[in-house]
Amino acid sequence: MKLWQKDKASLKEVEKFTVGNDRDLDIYLAPFDVLGSIAHTKMLESVGLLTRAELELLESALKEIYKQIQREDFKLSDGVEDIHSQVELMLTQKLGDAGKKIHSARSRNDQVLVDLKLFIRAEIEKTVINTKALFDLLVAQSEKHKADLLPGYTHLQLAMPSSFGLWFGAYAESLVDDLTTLEAAYRVVNKNPLGSAAGYGSSFPINRQMTTDLLGFDNLNYNVVYAQMGRGKTERIVAAALANIAATLAKLSMDACLYLNQNFAFISFPDELTTGSSIMPHKKNPDVFELIRSHCNRIQALPNEIMLMTTNLPSGYHRDLQLIKEHIIPAFQNLNDCLQMTGLMLSNIEIKKDLLQDEKYKFLFSVEEVNKLVLEGIPFRDAYKKVGAAIEAGNFTHSASPAHTHEGSIGNLCNDKMEAMMHDIIQKFNFDKVKIALQQLLS
């Protein structure tokens, strides 16, 4: 079944090529297509395009389809092109003419737009939940290991003393900024395109504010042309925010791979979280972190992929946009898997104690010794030369107890401040508004 078909069928090769992976990907959109249709039917009845009796029949049938989807007892029938066709087919088979009326005042263009926005909105919430869980773990580990010192590096050369408290906390604060960009993307997503039809509106007296409220959107995409122009742009903005989280995880994973290396030996993991070699019995490979790194590097390419797929398109709908689903839909699952696996690994990390007691790390404290001389009244550049001369002469001495007290330093991590920032960002998403709206829609 094809919503657009008239009296001639497409060549099978054309049909196969143009449908692509839509049937598989549309399963992810299925519950959202039903939600959008429920809101649409309520609006149609309110403006006289459906009778009250027809609305009741359609609502009941749509809610039953929604339950089927939730039970994972739903699939696209053979010969059905996409989720939109499947739902309309089921309604028409069950209800006859009432099912045929559901497509009044909308197009597949705004239908897929609203499906994608509802899907992305729900996936963003999952991503925020998983990011917050990792953030909480990082803060807990930061507090637990705040007294455990760690070498700090610049240019991958020994630089200054750091700590595991700082290391864990750095990635926690990075996630705060990542969710700040995701919240901005969420505001772009959370606007209703339904009613823009094929991109030029409708001659029916529809009520777009009504569907906006029913679906829990914060606002509309008012201009019907821009509603269609927003497809591709919305996904690119979201992909950029996902790429920020991915970049944080990729960098953390690279650190973990280095720190697990025997030449560093800062951390270790239980055997069941690492892998071995087919010929080298001593190996404990960080495969999980290596795969997180690679998955996340691929996600970082996503904004560029979407940009290149849309960069030379004029306004209006184009079939090119269909392919974006193949990139954005799996990205959410991949990123959330990476967030959860990072949490699993860091929950079981083992930290090597007293690392900086090793003689090879003594020059990490050179700046500490310079600063001590400055505090005694020696000009900084003279203190720098004095400590440098002692290092060259081989008589450098130091204390392995750094005294850093300012905000965000070894002795004053400010994790509570970061937790407050994270709380403020998550509150801005206002997921409860959406949950209440959708619960009412399905009640």
Ranges 7-11, 23-27, 406-410, most confident: 406-410
**Residue 22 pLDDT > 80:** no
> Residue 82: which pLDDT band, with cuts at 50, 70 and 90?
confident
**Do residues 29 and 64 touch, judged by C-beta distance below 8 A?**
no
**Do residues 127 and 429 touch, judged by C-beta distance below 8 A?**
no
* pLDDT at position 7: 55
Two tokens at 274? 């690492």
Two tokens at 75? 């699939």
* pLDDT at position 4: 46
* pLDDT at position 290: 96
CA proximity to 138, closest of 426, 352, 355, 343:
343
* pLDDT at position 10: 58
Residue type, position 33, single letter = D
Give CA–CA dist 142/124, Å, rounded: 26
| Rounded mean pLDDT, 104-124 | 96
**Do residues 219 and 136 touch, judged by C-beta distance below 8 A?**
no
**Residue 5 pLDDT > 60:** no
Two tokens at 16? 């196969």
Domain locations in the chain as residue ranges = 12-103, 108-153+164-357+414-430, 359-393
CA proximity to 140, closest of 174, 172, 180:
172
Give CA–CA dist 30/22, Å, rounded: 12
> Residue 76: which pLDDT band, with cuts at 50, 70 and 90?
confident
Instruction: Give the Cβ contact number of residue 413 at 10 Å.
Output: 23
> Residue 48: which pLDDT band, with cuts at 50, 70 and 90?
very high
> Residue 2: which pLDDT band, with cuts at 50, 70 and 90?
low
**Residue 162 pLDDT > 60:** yes
Query: Can you give the three-state secondary structure of the chain, one letter per residue?
Result: CCCCCCCCCCCHHHHHHHHCCHHHHHHHHHHHHHHHHHHHHHHHHHCCCCCHHHHHHHHHHHHHHHHHHHCCCCCCCCCCCCHHHHHHHHHHHHHCHHHHHHHCCCCHHHHHHHHHHHHHHHHHHHHHHHHHHHHHHHHHHHHHCCCCEEEEEECCEEEEEEEHHHHHHHHHHHHHHHHHHHHHHHHHHCEECCCCCCCCCCCCCCCHHHHHHHCCCCEECCCHHHHHHHHHHHHHHHHHHHHHHHHHHHHHHHHHHHHHCCCCCCEECCHHHCECCCCCCCCCECHHHHHHHHHHHHHHCHHHHHHHHHCCCCCCCCHHHHHHHHHHHHHHHHHHHHHHHHHHHHHCCEECCCHHHCHHHHHHHHHHHHHHHHHCCCCHHHHHHHHHHHHHHCCCCCCCCCCCCCCCECCECCHHHHHHHHHHHHHHHCHHHHHHHHHHHHC
* pLDDT at position 195: 95
Spatial neighbors of 120 by CB under 8 A, at least 6 apart, are 189, 234, 235, 238, 328, 332
CA proximity to 51, closest of 14, 117, 106, 101:
101
Mean pLDDT lowest among 273-277, 291-295, 367-371, 405-409 = 273-277
Give CA–CA dist 72/211, Å, rounded: 27
* pLDDT at position 282: 75
pLDDT digits 0-9 by tens, 353-401: 999 999 999 999 999 999 999 999 999 999 999 999 999 999 999 888 8
CA proximity to 107, closest of 36, 174, 57, 168:
36
Beta bridge partners of 220: 192
Give CA–CA dist 39/59, Å, rounded: 9
> Residue 90: which pLDDT band, with cuts at 50, 70 and 90?
very high
More confident residue, 279 or 430: 430
Fold (CATH) for 108-153+164-357+414-430:
Fumarase C; Chain A, domain 2 (1.20.200)
Q: Is it true that domain 12-103 has CATH number 3.20.20.70?
A: no
